[in-house]
Homo-oligomer: A and B are copies of this chain.
Amino acid sequence: MPYFDAASSVPLHPVAREALIAALDEGWADPGRLHREGRRARMLLDAARETASQAVGCRPDELVFTPSGTSALHTGIAGALAGRRRTGRRLVVSAVEHSAVLHAAAAHEAAGGIVAQVPVDRTGRVPAAEFRAALGEDTALACLQSANHEVGTEQPVTEVAAACAEAGVPLLVDAAQSLAWGRTGEGWSLLAASAHKWGGPPGVGLLAVRKGVRFAPVAPTDERESGRAAGFENIPAIVAAAASLRAVRAEADASAARLRALVDRVRARVPESVPDVEVVGDPVRRLPNLVTFSCLYVDGEALLHALDRHGFSVSSGSSCTSSTLTPSHVLRAMGVLSEGNVRLSLPPGSADSAEEDVERFLEVLPEAVREVRGRLAAPGGRDGTRAKPEADAEGEPEAAAGGEPEAAAEAESKPETEAEPQHGASGGPSVTVDALGSLCPLPVIELAKVIGDVPVGGVVTVLADDEAARADIPAWCEMRGQEYLGADGVEFRIRRLN
């Protein structure tokens, strides 16, 4: 059963499994105790720290183990901010950081701190010059991910680190997605990562703080892990994490080459076989194992379930998935479509069957998308005979004739929407669609259905209160070559250009 969600978590690496089971017998005691069980635990912990620090590229006394990557980020950000409180209270982050960083930033803001978010371009990449410009005199800390977890785009860490060094600002790098590949960039002051992303067990994060970086751990702390990670050390898991980090790093180059070829194939083939798809993320500067695309007129959760029924485990940054009503902040910051979003992330140690699995995925996907579109009576759906207002499945949008907006009311198990062409289907200068209360992707489907009802130069107004509409209506315009005129509250205005 192909598992394509490595960016969330990967199964335990065989080396980690072996190390973990051995360390359960040897490393269960308190390493702070003086008896032989304690000393043995301490030795295992020290050895794991040595191994992990080599992989990270730091001194062992610069590295502590935390209970998770999230905890490493929270601790690192809070400690660095507190350590430089006298310099200022400004925290600079990219707009596409992991939610753990953004949560820490929000907490800093709530406590009276200042947070500056550096925007990204349409590929999800932070322009280094913009990051540099955001570094004010009062900046206590800057945070940048090594690569984005949702779209795979690698960030210009080394360049940004140089800018930070020049400004005298420490840079914390969230290396969660990159440490396994050994591509974290150079020049960071703090680095955080998470073991279950590289084949280690859950329950282990790591935080490296370079000597000389001001760091004041936020209380309460204790005597463990240099006062930077309170609570009994999880030594068996730490031992396993270090062992697997070493193992995946040894395999990284070969694995990256193999997976990069598979990802390239997906990037090329998906837009060929599925209409109205946007492959997102930087096409070159990216993680070797991750590819993300969004499908117009598709409910992300429904597509996930359809793929799951075919045996494929993927994830999605669409809203209406994973019990969230807001679409991925990453896709939003990039200004790309969030509906029908699918992320494939191939496990680094993928079996030889990975190629076959990817091929089968490429075969299954078009039909899965058609099926989901059909259920929503969306353009390009399997049941498209009933409702293809804008285009045929393979057709050009320009060729589309006006459709039947009411067809959406027939969508199964979805809130009803109502299109209200103010000037009829004959093509008056303006049409309003009421999609209030409708969730992603219905507002965009409604828009697509009525755009043909206005002449070129005419305006469609969509009333939509779904969070996703804010990202997806502009993204649709960008993809379709229509003009997005802006939004006023729940009122989105679009001018037909073609």
The CB with the most chain B CB atoms within 10 A, among A34, A106, A205, is that of A34
- Contacts A37-B313, A106-B219; is A232 near B68 (CB within 8 Å)? yes
What is the bound-complex CA distance between A68 and B236, given in angstroms?
A: 14
Q: Does A285 contact B (CB under 8 A)?
A: no
Interface string of A167-210 (1 = CB under 8 A from B): 00000000000000000000000000010100001110100000
Q: Which residues on B sit within 8 Å (CB–CB) of A38?
A: 5, 8, 313
Is B104's CB under 8 angstroms from A33's CB?
no
Q: Which residues on B sit within 8 Å (CB–CB) of A236?
A: 201-202
Is A100's CB under 8 angstroms from B34's CB?
no
Is B221's CB under 8 angstroms from A103's CB?
yes
Q: Which residues on B sit within 8 Å (CB–CB) of A9?
A: 28-30, 232
Interface size, chain A (Cβ < 8 Å): 67
Is B1's CB under 8 angstroms from A230's CB?
no
Q: Which residues on B sit within 8 Å (CB–CB) of A308?
A: 34-36
Is A103's CB under 8 angstroms from B222's CB?
yes
Q: Which residues on B sit within 8 Å (CB–CB) of A222?
A: 70, 99-100, 103
Stretch from A16-24, A87-95, A274-282, A451-459 contacting the other chain: A16-24
Q: Which residues on B sit within 8 Å (CB–CB) of A74?
A: 220, 230
Is A313's CB under 8 angstroms from B231's CB?
no
Is A30's CB under 8 angstroms from B5's CB?
yes
User: What copy number does this chain have within its complex?
Assistant: 2
Q: Does A235 contact B (CB under 8 A)?
A: yes
What is the bound-complex CA distance between A17 and B21, given in angstroms?
A: 9
Stretch from A314-322, A399-407, A486-494 contacting the other chain: A314-322
- Closest B residue, CB atoms, query A221: B103
- Contacts A28-B12, A202-B28, A220-B106; is A34 near B301 (CB within 8 Å)? yes
Distance in Å: Cβ of A423 to nearest Cβ of chain B: 42
Q: Which residues on B sit within 8 Å (CB–CB) of A314?
A: 35
- Closest B residue, CB atoms, query A29: B9
Q: Does A69 contact B (CB under 8 A)?
A: yes
Is B3's CB under 8 angstroms from A28's CB?
no
Of the candidates B20, B100, B230, which one forms a contact with A100 in the assembled complex, judged by CB atoms under 8 Å apart?
A: B230
Q: Which residues on B sit within 8 Å (CB–CB) of A304?
A: 34-35
Q: Does A371 contact B (CB under 8 A)?
A: no
Is B69's CB under 8 angstroms from A33's CB?
no
Q: Which residues on B sit within 8 Å (CB–CB) of A324?
A: 223
- Closest B residue, CB atoms, query A324: B223
Of the candidates B32, B201, B235, which one forms a contact with A24 in the assembled complex, judged by CB atoms under 8 Å apart?
A: B201
Of the candidates B29, B34, B36, B107, which one forms a contact with A220 in the assembled complex, judged by CB atoms under 8 Å apart?
A: B107
Is B28's CB under 8 angstroms from A219's CB?
no
Q: Which residues on B sit within 8 Å (CB–CB) of A313?
A: 29, 33, 35-38
- Contacts A8-B30, A17-B24, A24-B17; is A203 near B234 (CB within 8 Å)? yes
What is the bound-complex CA distance between A313 and B74, given in angstroms?
A: 36
Supply 22 A–B pairs (Cβ within 8 Å), ascending by A.
Answer: A3-B37, A5-B29, A5-B37, A21-B21, A28-B201, A28-B202, A32-B323, A35-B308, A35-B312, A36-B308, A70-B222, A70-B232, A103-B220, A107-B220, A194-B232, A202-B232, A202-B234, A202-B237, A223-B323, A223-B324, A234-B237, A237-B237
Question: Could you tell me which A residues sit within 8 Å of B by CB distance?
Answer: 1, 3, 5, 8-12, 17, 20-21, 24-25, 28-30, 32-38, 67-71, 74, 99-100, 103-104, 106-107, 110, 194, 196, 201-203, 205, 219-223, 230-237, 301, 304-305, 308, 312-315, 321-324
